[in-house]
Amino acid sequence: MKSRKQELMFPHVEAWKKCDNISQSDFAKALGLSKSTFNYWIRKYDALNASEITDTGFVELIPKIETNPVVLQKSSDSKNTEAASNREIKISLPGGVNITINI
């Protein structure tokens, strides 16, 4: 349950979080608050919202399926054989790290 002050301050905190170009100090000054008071409300807001989020540590992976056709070739002994299908799993991580697993 939010207190009256929370109902008053949390919209200001949310507005500041959406601003990329204004410092915490400048935003607090514009509201007529000290930086430490505004920082208190930011910490309170973050703590309340963190407790509402259940972070399991897992990230959902959504596969991007690309089909590579399987090519049939005749071998030198006139039997049909399947060439490599070039199927692979690619995982791209932050920082440009890529992992490729041939299957």
Question: What is the model's pLDDT at position 71?
Answer: 54
What Rg value do the Cα atoms of the chain yield, rounded?
28
Regarding predicted confidence, which is higher, 69 or 3?
3
- Which secondary structure element, helix H or strand E, spans residue 90, and what is its range? strand 88-93
| 87 neighbors 103 (Cβ within 8 angstroms) | yes
What sign has the CA pseudo-torsion 42, 48, 52, 55? Answer: positive
User: Does the pLDDT of residue 67 top 70, yes or no?
Assistant: no
pLDDT, tens digit (0-9, with 9 covering 90-100), for 29-47: 999 999 999 999 999 998 8
